[in-house]
Amino acid sequence: MSLRTLARHALALGLIAAAVPATAATRIEIQGGRSYMDSYGSHAAFVEAVFPAQPIGGTRYSWSPDVSLGWIDGRDVHRYDYSSYTTRPSVALLAAGVRVHHGDAGDWYQPLFASFQVAATNHATQALSSHYQFVSTLGWQAKHFTLAIRHVSNGGLSGPNRGETMAVVGVAFDI
């Protein structure tokens, strides 16, 4: 998937987000951190939109639609230079899925969340060896702050599948 195609998808998601009624606040998070493939680190950045929560039946669980636009910098790992997949390209990804919370507002554990997304990428690398990926995130969100551990991988469906594991910190605001 080209960067131009990813930009078109991001614009479409932005237009969808703008169409959400003003009474239903969308949470925007701008996140940055360090990502690791094996023990090789690189920078990562994400912009994430989390839409209003919906209850899951009569339970204390809720889910929110969740879309992300991310970037993971390439690495200079010479031992992979002549492999089918190198580590040099930076990877852009577009992901969509759900963020799940448990508990009622005010419960100490309610800010904890798990997020599950499916992603498309513009490059295949040693870490992300296909153009489709799964994104799993465990985190904590405050009103204007987010901390999370995220793993991006194709689940062993293709290639070397080393995956990217990262810690991200973010600022958040409602639109």
3-state secondary structure the chain: CCHHHHHHHHHHHHHHHHCCCCCCCCEEEEEEEEEEECCEEEEEEEEEEECCCEECCCCCEEEEEEEEEEEECCCCCHHHCCCCCCCCCCEEEEEEEEEEEECCCCCCCCCEEEEEEEEEECCCCCCCCCCEEEEEEEEEECCCEEEEEEEEECCCCCCCCCCEEEEEEEEEEEC
Structure confidence by residue, pLDDT tens digits, 63-98: 999 999 999 999 999 998 888 889 999 999 999 999
User: What does the block give as tokens for 8?
Assistant: 């078109």
Residue 1 has what pLDDT? 59
Residue 25, domain member (yes or no):
no
Residue 166, domain member (yes or no):
yes
Residue 88, domain member (yes or no):
yes
Q: How many domains does the chain have?
A: 1
Structure confidence by residue, pLDDT tens digits, 89-147: 999 999 999 999 999 988 999 999 999 999 999 999 999 999 999 999 999 999 999 99
Residue 168, domain member (yes or no):
yes
Residue 23 has what pLDDT? 46
Structure confidence by residue, pLDDT tens digits, 4-40: 665 566 555 555 555 544 446 899 999 999 999 999 9
Residue 134, domain member (yes or no):
yes
**CA–CA distance from 48 to each of 6, 70, 94, 170 (Å)?**
15, 8, 10, 10
Among residues 25, 23, 41, the alpha carbon closest in space to that of 33 is found at 41
Among residues 134, 131, 129, the alpha carbon closest in space to that of 150 is found at 134
* CATH number, position 66: 2.40.160.20
Residue 99 has what pLDDT? 97
Structure confidence by residue, pLDDT tens digits, 138-171: 999 999 999 999 999 998 888 788 999 999 999 9
- Write out the residue range of the structural domain in which residue 77 sits: 3-20+32-174
Residue 27, domain member (yes or no):
no
pTM summary value: 0.84
* Average pLDDT score, the chain: 89
Residue 26, domain member (yes or no):
no
